[in-house]
Amino acid sequence: MVVIRIRNSHRRHYALLCFSIAGFIIYNYIGMQPGVRRVSRREGLSANSSLFTLEGEEFRILGGSIHYFRVPRAYWKDRIMKMKACGVNTLTTYVPWNLHEPERGIFDFQRQLDLEAYINLAAEVGLWVILRPGPYICSEMDLGGLPSWLLRDENMKLRTTYPGFTEAVNSFFDKLIPKVIPLQFKKGGPIIAVQVENEYGSYAKDKNYMPFIKEALQSRGIDELLLTSDNNEGLKYGGVIGALRTINLQKLKPEGLKYLDAIQPQSPKLVMEYWAGWFDAWGDLHHVFAAEDMVAVVRKILKRGMSVNLYMFHGGTNFAFMSGAFAKPSYKALITSYDYDAPLTEAGDYTPKYHLLRDLFSRYHTEKLPEMLPLRWKEAYEAAIMYQHLSLWDALQFVEEPFRSVSPVNMESLPVNNGNGQSFGYTLYETTITSGGLLRSDNNVRDRALVFVDRRFIGVFKYKSLELAVPDGKGKRTLSLLVENCGRVHYGKSLDSQRKGLVGDIVLNNTPLRDFTIYSLDMKPSFIERLNAAPWKYLPAIPTFPGFFQGRLFVDGYPSDTFIKLPGWSKAVVFINGQNLGRYWSIGPQQALYLPGPWLNSGINQVIVFEEQEADSKIHFEDSPDLGMTVDV
């Protein structure tokens, strides 16, 4: 036996050397994992060469978008882990200003909107994060995620350096940015990049605006790589000095890539939004993008040495009245589902796209990908019988005190919600008439109005319909217009004009109507809760419309996801245990609303449906979605 004797003085040096080597190995093995928090890191995501580097090592972004506000919090981890198992290494998410600041100065970062918890969960699962804080986010959301109370200012110029807008942005960022500062990469967190605004090249009304947003982020402590993102047409106008320009696309077009090469010849290329599918509008077909074609483009992107972010990896749902709309070629409101034909369905199920992407992404990993999670059970529950009815007219006593005005007032300017106006839902305008004749909207209905005389339905004003016949009658009668905000436009240059309700005069026989009583029906949870004390009646054979219908869903055992189908209904909003699931409209394409299991109770569940014009005596529950007939994007 050979014994090596080490002097005491050398032992200390030997132990220190071993400790240093061990520390170096551990650092290289786990120091670059998102879930491992350290006090600081030296160098974050860098774009100083043709490839990204992270902590000095080459890094390719394989990203996927999942929005925390479109997924029930109970399912955040399920969706993120499924994305991780597909080979994605980076989560991207928008931050919706309108949800986080529903009233000026009143902020909500709790429960479903707990952004910090969401980012920390991504780190726990092992993903990096690219944060897209806006303030404008598009994302097919009402007003592109901007709060509607901004429009109370008649002179408001959104997405510019107009003082009324910049002051509001500064106030929001004062609350938001400190929450994410500790979550940056250099402080031991998972955030490796932050996007400056969103697709500003398609708007570009103020050359000073993008520098303002960049400074607003950096002055509050954002210290990671900054990005901008634009489509092919917007690339030339949407950038800002000091931020890497990235591109949004669905088909690879040489002009966009050539322009990036010209302005950023030694920088890495990132497709910030590779559109994995598309969104749908009411009255259209459901858009799909063939899995093989979609993955073929991703393969080409990666072969070019580029990075990519899949928008969306999992779309989720536009719960409540979150959906936006588009204005061109004509106004169309978006559906409740945000399935997006993404790799994970609205309910989090795997698709052919998922499996093809997993096979492709696995080739860009040296280690085996995590195992795929099992799918969650879907249940076709027994139909819920609607046994109670409450007319809209009887429900008016449970809304805020009505407002009286000589002329019509748009919903944003109403003195409700602590002086912040009305953001979503319906607004009822009532006035007195003394004759019949020709009623003209003069294009002042935003977006759709049911019209009544003495609470008897006489017709509909749609966005562009201009005339309606009012039947003759004796004496004074009440004319009522129930106006719905179907969704503010989320993209384009008409954002400043997205006020809803009645935005101008309604004319009867060439005379503008006056002296209105206005009711705000925003359908908030507090209002639905107050309806528990309403004078509900047993469902009559011929119910009054519009009206609320109430029934019960019984769940035996642990609740599962399900899909609500409403054959025999026309245009409705569905509430389960007070949760607003969103709009249903028989014109499609969407024919079933997603109901997450975590929002159900074991036992009895309250079902309330607000229906405008036609109802059945029950609603049905299926174990599979129905997004309607399809069309290729």
Query: Would you give the distance in Å from CA 467 to the centre of its chain?
Result: 35
Pairing of strands 62-66, 571-576: unpaired
Q: Where are the alpha helices (DSSP H) in 61-206?
A: 76-85, 97-100, 115-125, 163-180
CATH superfamily of 407-514: Galactose-binding domain-like (2.60.120.260)
The rounded mean pLDDT for the chain is: 94
Q: What is the DSSP letter of 34?
A: T
Plot region of 437 (φ>0 → left; ψ -120 to 50 → alpha; else → beta):
left
Strand-pair category, 332-333 with 325-326: antiparallel
Task: Please give the helix or strand (H or E) that residue 45 lies within, else none.
Answer: strand 45-46
Q: Which residues pair with residue 631 across a beta bridge?
A: 287
CA distance 44 to 194: 12
- Residue by residue, DSSP assigns 404-458 as EESS---GGGSS-TTTT---SSEEEEEEEESS-EEEE-TT-EESEEEEEETTEEE
Residue 592: strand pairing partners: 565
pLDDT digits (tens, 9 = 90+) for 614-633: 999 999 999 999 999 999 99
Q: Quick check: 67 and 76 in contact, CB under 8 A?
A: no
Asked whether the predicted pLDDT for residue 40 surpasses 90, the reply is no
CATH of the domain spanning 384-389+526-632, picked from 2.60.120.260, 1.10.10.10, 3.40.50.300, 3.30.470.20: 2.60.120.260
Place of tokens 């999942």: 66
Q: Is 379 a catalytic residue?
A: no
User: Quick one: pLDDT at residue 21?
Assistant: 45
User: Is the separation of the CB atoms in 142 and 151 below 8 Å?
Assistant: no
Q: 65 with 312: CB under 8 angstroms?
A: yes
Residue ranges of domains in the chain: 33-362, 384-389+526-632, 407-514
What mean pLDDT is predicted for residues 475-503?
A: 98
Please tell me what DSSP assigns to residue 381. P
273 is an active site residue: yes
* Same fold yes or no, 33-362 and 407-514: no
pTM over 0.85: yes
Catalytic site residue from 101, 197, 273, 346: 273
Helices and strands, number each (H, E), in the chain:
11, 36
Supply 540's token pair.
Answer: 């009559």
Position 14 scores a pLDDT of: 47
In the numeric block, the tokens 């109970």 are attached to 74
Rounded to an integer, what is the distance from CA 319 to the centroid of its chain? 8
Q: What's the helix, strand, coil split of the chain in %, to 5?
A: 25, 30, 45
pLDDT of 5 > 70? The answer is no
What are the pLDDT digits (tens) for 330-389? 999 999 999 999 999 999 999 999 999 999 999 999 999 999 999 999 999 999 999 999
What is the CATH code for 33-362? Answer: 3.20.20.80
From 101, 199, 412, 430, the catalytic residue: 199
Mean pLDDT of all residues in 492-498:
96
Q: Does residue 10 surpass a pLDDT of 80?
A: no
Digit-coded pLDDT (tens) for 394-409? 999 999 999 999 999 9
What angle, 0 to 180 degrees and rounded to 10, lies between the N-to-C axes of helices 115-125 and 76-85?
30
**Residue 41 pLDDT grade (very low, low, confident, very high; cuts 50, 70, 90):** confident
pLDDT at 256: 79
